[in-house]
Amino acid sequence: MRMRAAIADARDEVLLETYILRDDTLGVSVQSALLEAAARGVRVCVLADAVGSLATNEAFWVTLEAGGVLVRHFHCFWHHPFDALRRDHRKLLVIDRATAFTGGMNIGEEYGSSIHRRRVAWRDTFVELRGTVAGELAAVFAEGWDRARGPVLPGLDYVSWSEGALKPPPRPYAPPLRERLQQQLRTRRDRRHGRRVRCTADTATVDDSAVLVIDPRPGRGQREMLTTLVALAGAARERLWITTPYFAPPTRALDLLASAAHRGVDVRLLLPGARTDVPLVRHAAHGAYAYLLARGVRIFEYQRATLHAKTLVVDGHASLIGSSNLDFRSLWLNAECNVLLFDDACGAALERVYATDLEGSLEITAAEWRRRRWAHRVGDGVARALRWAL
């Protein structure tokens, strides 16, 4: 496991943030790696959501703390009784502020033992990042750590959730996201077709333009996340391929997908099949199928495992990978973390994985969808109407 190997190589600091940290076989193996790092003198901080990790035995946390690991739980009821619905859904591992991992994967056997336990296997996506972006993700960790009353982490600029801005890092000027996306994709299309590339498209350095961290949480960054999704859908000219386990967006989001399909974009949604951990949200997604299918959006349901990946790829170039789902809870109530990458190799890799996932999926056709039973139709309508409460 790459994450355990990275922890084993840590020399100064390990920052782990996750919604679920189980005390099963995989969780214990991660615990051992964290304890070994702490024994080497590495500063090890673990932040787990108090609700997501509620089933984890108290002895698991006690063992970590006894071994020198700093542990905090996000939004414990006795600290934040009025914030019970606001959860830390981020999944982050930052090593020495030089290497980082993020995506949709929690820590539990359903991820690490999928080959041997097919009946409970989960399909997810995680990405490894190196360079200055790791320091940015460490600052994302510090924000949640501050909210969970963790001690100050030295040398980090971050925004305090509770107190407002504390030493906010300087940010270089960047054009609006929609303009930036269109510029990136236009430049790529020009190069591919042998056209002369506009000079203004190459003004940003690779370090500035290759990766953006998008980390919404209640009270900050939510509109920016929505703007990113709108910009990605609007910038697509060839392909817009989305994977999400929980699809219950507002009607305007459906209109965006329909509009892209109307422009001739190949719009595909990869959603969970019957093997889902939240059937009600799947029904809410079903409530939007007829609308989307009638407008040219292709919909696939994954059959091989429980789908939990959250990815989006535009024209094989712009890729969004992270913890955000396309539902009300994720967009407005959760702290999330995503990375937007402008990279052909990453985009091509995601498209290859997407094509492989489609081999294990069933495509839903409009004709087939019209034949579903009336009870299913009623359930879909009710769940769709309740999407804001899911």
Domain locations in the chain as residue ranges:
2-166, 177-389
Spatial contact of 257 and 267, defined as CB atoms under 8 Å apart: yes
Q: List the catalytic residue out of 89, 283, 286, 317.
A: 89
CATH code for the structural domain at 2-166: 3.30.870.10
Residue from 262, 265, 275, 272 nearest 326 by CA: 272
**177-389 adopts what CATH topology?**
Endonuclease; Chain A (3.30.870)
pTM of the model: 0.88
Per-residue HEC secondary structure of 100-113 comes to EEEECCCECHHHHC
Residue 247's Cβ-count burial label (10 Å; 0-12, 13-18, 19+) is: buried
Q: Indicate the residue type of 152.
A: V
Which residue in 49, 88, 96, 327 is the catalytic one?
A: 96
Dist CA 171 CA 185 (whole Å)? 23
What letters, b where the CB count within 10 A reaches 16 and e where it falls short, cover 57-69?
Answer: eeebbebbeebbb
Per-residue burial over 258-283, b if 16 or more Cβ lie within 10 Å, else e, is bebbeeebebbbbbbbebbebebbbb
The CA distances from residue 333 to 6, 16, 382, 388, 390, in Å, are: 31, 21, 22, 11, 11
Name the catalytic one among 73, 91, 286, 317. 91
Q: What's the pLDDT score for residue 164?
A: 59
Q: Cβ distance 19 to 89 under 8 Å?
A: yes
Question: What angle, rounded to 10 degrees, do the helices at 25-39 and 58-66 form?
Answer: 20
Query: Hey, which residues does 299 pair with through a beta bridge?
Result: 269, 364
> Which residues is 32 bridged to in the sheet?
none
Does this chain's domain 2-166 share its CATH topology with 177-389? yes
10 Å Cβ neighbour count for 77? 12
344 a catalytic residue: no
Candidates 88, 146, 315, 327; catalytic one: 315
Q: What is the pLDDT of residue 153?
A: 92
Three-state SS across the chain?
CHHHHHHHHCCCEEEEEECCECCCHHHHHHHHHHHHHHHCCCEEEEEEECCCCCCCCHHHHHHHHHCCCEEEEECCCCCCHHHCCCCECCCEEEECCCEEEEECCCECHHHHCCCCCHHHCEECCEEEEECHHHHHHHHHHHHHHHHCCCCCCCCCCEEECCCEEECCCCCCCCCCHHHHHHHHHHHHHHHHCCCCCCHHHHCCCHHHHCEEEECCECCECHHHHHHHHHHHHHHCCCEEEEECCCEECCHHHHHHHHHHHHCCCEEEEEEECCCCCCHHHHHHHHHHHHHHHHCCCEEEEECCCEECCCEEEECCCEEEEECCCEEHHHHHHCECCEEEEECHHHHHHHHHHHHHHHHCEEEECHHHHHCCCHHHHHHHHHHHHCHHHC
For the record, the structure tokens of 152 come out as: 């100050």
79 in active site: no
Mark whether 310 is an active-site residue: yes
Looking at residue 182, what is its pLDDT?
64
Q: Is 83 a catalytic residue?
A: no
User: Which of these, 152, 160, 119, lies nearest to 275 by C-alpha position?
Assistant: 119
Of these residues, 73, 75, 283, 308, which one is catalytic? Answer: 308
Taking CA atoms, 357 is separated from 122, 161, 217, 242, in Å, by 13, 38, 30, 12
Q: Which two tokens stand for residue 358?
A: 């489609």
Catalytic residue among 73, 283, 310, 317: 310
Assess contact for 86 and 75: CB atoms under 8 A: yes
CA separation for the pair 188, 295 (Å, rounded)? 28
Write out the chain's pLDDT in tens, 390 residues: 799 999 999 999 999 999 999 999 999 999 999 999 999 999 999 999 999 999 999 999 999 999 999 999 999 988 888 888 999 999 999 999 999 999 999 999 987 654 445 556 899 999 999 999 999 999 999 999 999 999 999 888 877 776 655 544 444 434 556 666 666 666 665 555 554 433 322 223 334 458 999 999 998 889 899 999 999 999 999 999 999 999 999 899 999 999 999 999 999 999 999 999 999 899 999 999 999 999 999 999 999 999 999 999 999 999 999 999 999 999 999 999 999 999 999 999 999 999 999 999 999 999 999 888 877 777 777 777 877 766
